[in-house]
Structures are given as C-alpha cells and as structure tokens.
C-alpha cells in the first residue's frame, strides 16, 4: 500500500546522479541506472491497471557506447546501493537459457500482489556491464524467454528438451546491460528487431568520455549513499495500484492517442516493433518517476511529462547507435563475406565454411563468427550449396535469394 513515510531524498534520481559522480560515468547512463534501480526495487508489488491487465514498472535497458563511457561504472554504482537496500539475488553471468530457468526456479520469493495478497514470485534481476553476461549464446529462444518474462504473467510454463517442465510463478524480470555497437550488430540478428526483445528494450546512447581527476573524489558520499539505500528500502515495502492524475491521463491522451507519440522514431529497425510499444515504455517510465519522488503511488502530470521527455530524448540519440553499428567491423565483415561469395560464384564455385571461418578469425571470436554466419543464412543473403554436407563447419555457401538486393 502507499506509504506516508517521509523520504530522505526529495528525488531518488537526482540524488543518485550526485552520488554517482565519483564513478565517472556518462550522465545519460547514470540517469538510466537511477530509473532502473528505482523501478526494480518495487518488483511486481506495484503497478497500474491498463487495458484490463496489470502493468508493472519493470524496465529493460541497454547502455550502448564504445569503451570508456561508463557502462561498467554505472552498473557498479547501481549495485552498490540496490544490493544492500533489497538483498536481491542477481542473475549469474553468462548463464544459458536452461541455466536461467533453473536459477529462476530456485530464486523463489514471497511478494505481495498490488491487492495485498501474498504470492510466490520467481525473479530475474539481471544487470551486467556487457550483454554477454545476460545473453551468452546466439539463441533466439533466449530472447523469446526474456520477452515472456517482461510481461506480467501469472505463471510461465514450458517443456524442456529433455521433456521436463519449467514452471515459474508470477515471474518478474528487470534488465540493465551494457553493449558496444559492434557487438550489438553481431549479437542481435536482424529478425530479432521485430521479434519482441528489442521492442521491449530502451537503448541509451552516451559516448561522452568522462575525464575527471582521480584525486577529486577519494570516496563516495556515505551519507547520501545511506539516504538512497533507506529510500530504496521504503520502495521495497510498497504495494498497491498507481492512481493517475487527470492531468497525467490528459497528457497521455494528447501525446499518444491523439497525435501518435511525436516525434516518432524513423529508423527501420525501430519501426519493426519498438514504435508500437512506445506507450508501454511511457507507462513504465511514468511509474518509475513517481516512485523516484515519493511513496504515494500517484502518477502526476509532472511524472508523465518527465517520462515523455526522457523517452523522446533517448530515442533522438538512438540514431547514433545505428550510425555506429553501420560503421563497425561487423558490418564491414558482412560486406567482405558477400563479396567473397560473389567472386567464388562468378567463377562457378562456392565458399567452403572452413575458408569463410579462416577469413574471419583475425577479427572475431568463434561464437561471433557463428552468429555472423547464422545471420546471413537466416536473412537469405547466403544459401547452402545443394548436395553438400550439412553440419556446422562442413557446409559450403553460395549466394542466397536476397544477396542480389544488396549492393
């Protein structure tokens, strides 16, 4: 239920920005880390009734930049206050999909539903400074599992490869991870942009190289840290449904229902699924901003305005992510592979997989090479030569049905 307890910090996000200064991270990453920790602390005990179902403020974030912008430092700062405040068990690094399901089955907590009823909840609190920590394998099924965890399900049930059953009660998942543009281009296959995971994820770009003297801050502000932890503990005990002020509802109706959420991102990858879920991101962010300022479980017009401003600002900078992806070695490698296969085919030949792997070994790790080849095959840019042995490492490639459309 909402609480009248007085917070130590007038606004948690503002307080965390000040606390995180010694961590030397980009401002966009720090603000996002503050939003994520605030919403995550509430778990699924709070939410809004929207379209006939419960929507909780859990968020999926990707911090996207090259080295030195503070992805790992942001994660470190978040963990330094969220762990002592909540005692959360964080998802082990580089866990497979099966391992993640096993972990969640073991990580069973007793939480309150917004109506106050006690319920078991299998939780997945995932924070990692690199995406390999939460997505260690090129597995579309792994992404699909995260998709289902994002939604506020009452139960999740699936059959394993060994014909066993995975059952999760009131599953809850919240993710923040870092990723470099080059690895994003390699790890997330083209078709995944329209499959759900990337539409549920808000990408945050911050390439600012923060350089401050190591001697300016010998330590963090321990009083401020204690205040942030105390406020996160209060959030941790809240349960109930958010109420929305008339002004907040009117802002949503004007911005989304009437005008379609301007400005609408124009990138083709975002149009594959993300744009259709922007109103859901708005709802979750507005609840997070409400939690940041108090315990009243009330979304004010100011909370809603902050949500729109943050979302639009973040989306405006997403174009830099796609520009960085287009200029990475991963994209150049696609071009080199296409050119090599075309040359072989022009002479009536084909490209043995062993030759293709050898060509890429100086640039990428083996798992990255497999992902690159799989992406080209699934997008039909490459095809497998008829009559050749089908097996990883033994295939031979020819131009695919869609290679001709690539200049």
Can you give the residue ranges of every domain in the chain? 12-325, 329-405
| Cβ neighbourhood burial of 164 (10 Å; 0-12, 13-18, 19+) | exposed
Q: Look at residue 358 and tell me whether its pLDDT is greater than 70.
A: yes
- Of these ranges, 213-227, 291-305, 354-368, the one predicted with the greatest mean pLDDT is 291-305
Average pLDDT of the residues in 36-49: 98
CA angle 59/60/63 to nearest 5° reads: 125
Asked if 380 and 402 touch (Cβ cutoff 8 Å), the reply is: yes
* Contacts (Cβ under 8 Å, ≥6 apart) of 102: none
**Closest CA relative to residue 291, chosen from 226, 224, 237:** 237
Bigger pLDDT: 334 or 175? Answer: 175
Q: How far from 97 is each of 91, 138, 248, CA to CA, in Å?
A: 11, 11, 39
What kind of architecture, by CATH, is found in domain 12-325? 3-Layer(aba) Sandwich (3.40)
pLDDT value of position 330:
60
Q: Look at residue 392 and tell me whether its pLDDT is greater than 70.
A: no
Tokens of 15: 């307080």
Q: Look at residue 191 and tell me whether its pLDDT is greater than 90.
A: no
CA angle 315/320/326 to nearest 5° reads: 125
What is the number of H-type helices and E-type strands within the chain?
14, 15
Bigger pLDDT: 318 or 387? Answer: 318
Q: Give the bridge partners for 172, in sequence order.
A: 123
* Contacts (Cβ under 8 Å, ≥6 apart) of 26: 65, 69, 70, 74, 206, 207, 208, 210
- Of these ranges, 140-144, 231-235, 387-391, the one predicted with the greatest mean pLDDT is 231-235
Confidence of residue 332 (pLDDT cuts 50, 70, 90): low
Confidence of residue 342 (pLDDT cuts 50, 70, 90): confident
- Fold of the domain built from segment(s) 329-405: Arc Repressor Mutant, subunit A (1.10.10)
Tokens of 222: 């321990």
As a whole number, the mean pLDDT across the chain is 89
Average pLDDT of the residues in 58-62: 98
Confidence of residue 407 (pLDDT cuts 50, 70, 90): very low
pLDDT value of position 327:
67
């Amino acid at each position: 239920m909402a609480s009248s307890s007085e917070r130590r910090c007038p606004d948690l996000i503002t307080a965390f920005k000040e606390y995180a200064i010694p961590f030397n991270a980009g401002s966009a990453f720090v603000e996002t880390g503050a939003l994520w920790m605030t919403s995550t602390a509430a778990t699924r005990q709070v939410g809004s009734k929207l379209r006939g179902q419960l929507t909780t403020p859990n968020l999926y974030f990707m911090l996207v930049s090259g080295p030195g912008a503070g992805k790992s430092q942001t994660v470190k700062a978040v963990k330094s206050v969220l762990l002592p405040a909540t005692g959360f068990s964080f998802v082990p690094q580089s866990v497979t999909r099966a391992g993640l399901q096993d972990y969640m089955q073991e990580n069973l907590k007793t939480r309150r539903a917004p109506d106050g009823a006690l319920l078991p909840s299998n939780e997945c609190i995932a924070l990692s400074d690199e995406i390999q920590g939460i997505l260690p394998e090129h597995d579309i099924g792994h992404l699909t599992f995260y998709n289902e965890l994002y939604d506020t399900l009452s139960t999740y049930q699936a059959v394993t490869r060994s014909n066993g059953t995975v059952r999760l009660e009131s599953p809850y998942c919240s993710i923040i991870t870092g990723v470099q543009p080059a690895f994003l281009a390699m790890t997330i296959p083209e078709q995944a942009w329209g499959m759900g995971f990337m539409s549920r994820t808000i990408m945050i770009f911050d390439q600012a190289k923060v350089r401050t003297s190591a001697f300016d801050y010998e330590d963090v502000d321990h009083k401020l840290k204690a205040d942030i932890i105390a406020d996160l503990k209060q959030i941790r005990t809240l349960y109930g449904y958010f109420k929305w002020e008339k002004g907040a509802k009117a802002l949503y109706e004007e911005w989304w229902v009437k005008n379609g959420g301007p400005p609408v991102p124009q990138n083709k990858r975002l149009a594959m699924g993300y744009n259709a879920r922007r109103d859901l991101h708005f709802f979750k962010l507005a609840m997070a901003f409400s939690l940041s300022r108090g315990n009243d479980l009330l979304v004010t017009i100011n909370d809603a305005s902050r949500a729109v401003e943050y979302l639009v600002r973040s989306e405006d900078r997403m174009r830099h992510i796609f520009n960085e992806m287009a200029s990475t070695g991963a994209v150049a490698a696609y071009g080199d592979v296409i050119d090599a296969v075309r040359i072989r085919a022009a002479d009536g030949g084909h490209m043995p997989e062993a030759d293709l792997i050898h060509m890429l070994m100086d640039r990428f790790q083996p798992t990255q090479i497999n992902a690159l080849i799989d992406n080209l095959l699934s997008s039909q840019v490459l095809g497998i030569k008829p009559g050749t042995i089908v097996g990883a490492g033994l295939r031979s490639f020819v131009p695919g049905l869609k290679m001709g459309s690539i200049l």
